[in-house]
Structure 1
Amino acid sequence: MIPDRKNIKDLFEGLLGRDVEITEGKPVDIGIPKPVIASYADDGQRLRAVAVLSFGLAARAGAAIALVPKGAADAAEEDRLMPDNLFENASEICNVLAAPFGDALGEHLRLVGTYAPTDPVPAHVLTIAAQLAAREDVELEIAGYGTGGLSLIAAV
């Protein structure tokens, strides 16, 4: 029901053009600094999955995909302010995550919404993000950029 670690690693390496190490992680905290959260629906408009990128992962991956210097991601995390360009880039990564999510669930999924750290997140999306079942929590280390957490959760 959840993309396996090899698919996650391959997706990030392919998008970022950098080596990515993937290890066991813990659920991404939805507290402060707030993460980037993405929701995915099936063709019947039913919410089927949620991805939660730690603030650090969203900033680092958003910088890496556009070859923005690592310092921009570090500054964003230090200031707890996600620049629009890094958020847009992280949103594009979330969009591409729809395919492996859909493959794992055996149905077509599409990105419904991506929520920046400053955006309100609908309660039903937060409920899925907080569930303990049907989830994969990993740490990704992006070569030259650093580490961040990723939680992928299928609605049960």
Structure 2
Amino acid sequence: MSATPLPSALEVREVLQGLLGRDVETLTGGAMVDPGAPGGALVAEYISDQMQLAALIVMDLPMAARAGAAIALMPSTASEADVEAGEMSDVLLENAGEILNVLASLFNAEGAPHLRLNAVHAPGATIPADVAPWVMAYVARLDLECDVSGYGPGGLSLLVI
């Protein structure tokens, strides 16, 4: 069995565009998304069938809120209220969780371990001790600046552990 692949920016963009039904610009070379930064970040854990942590996706609050609003066809003002308040509403948090569940497909390739979404940690929530060190680690990672058409920009980091 080969290692879990790190998806390309093109693959991420194509999945997001298909999910959200709108253009999503993705630029490589973005900053690492830091859950400790103002506003925090949504942290998703992906585990293998052997219950091993294998990958993470980290969305800053603006990206999580904007994508969460876009997938539900909510007006962009809904996400902007969350971004300005520095916290996510339950509705946008649930919507972003659905996006993160589908993004598991980015890590699943023939011959690689099957990964699935295990947990989503809301912005500002405590990240488990076995996950926290990996979020800002220099491992195989893709740090993107994304812009959801009609909703706005945000940061997204994908990591393979």
Alignment TM class, shorter chain as reference:
over 0.9
Alignment match of 1:101 (pick from 101, 107, 131): 107
User: Counterparts in 2 of 1:4-153, with a 5 A limit?
Assistant: 4-24=8-28, 25-31=30-36, 32-103=38-109, 106-153=112-159
| Higher mean C-alpha displacement, 144-153 vs 93-102 | 93-102
Structure (1/2) with the larger helix percentage = 1
Q: Give the RMSD, CA atoms, in angstroms.
A: 1.3
TM superposition shift of 1:126: 1.3
Contact 1:99 1:108 in 2 (8 A): no
Rounded Cα–Cα distance in structure 2 between residues aligned with 1:115 and 1:103: 25
CA pair 90-105 structure 1, distance change in 2 beyond 3 A = farther
| Higher mean C-alpha displacement, 47-56 vs 99-108 | 99-108
Rounded Cα–Cα distance in structure 1 between residues aligned with 2:9 and 2:137: 20
User: Kindly, what percent of the aligned residue pairs are identical?
Assistant: 43
Rounded Cα–Cα distance in structure 2 between residues aligned with 1:65 and 1:23: 21
- Give the TM-score normalised by the residue count of structure 2: 0.92
TM superposition shift of 1:102: 2.2
Gaps in structure 1 of 5+ consecutive residues? none
What is the aligned residue count? Answer: 155
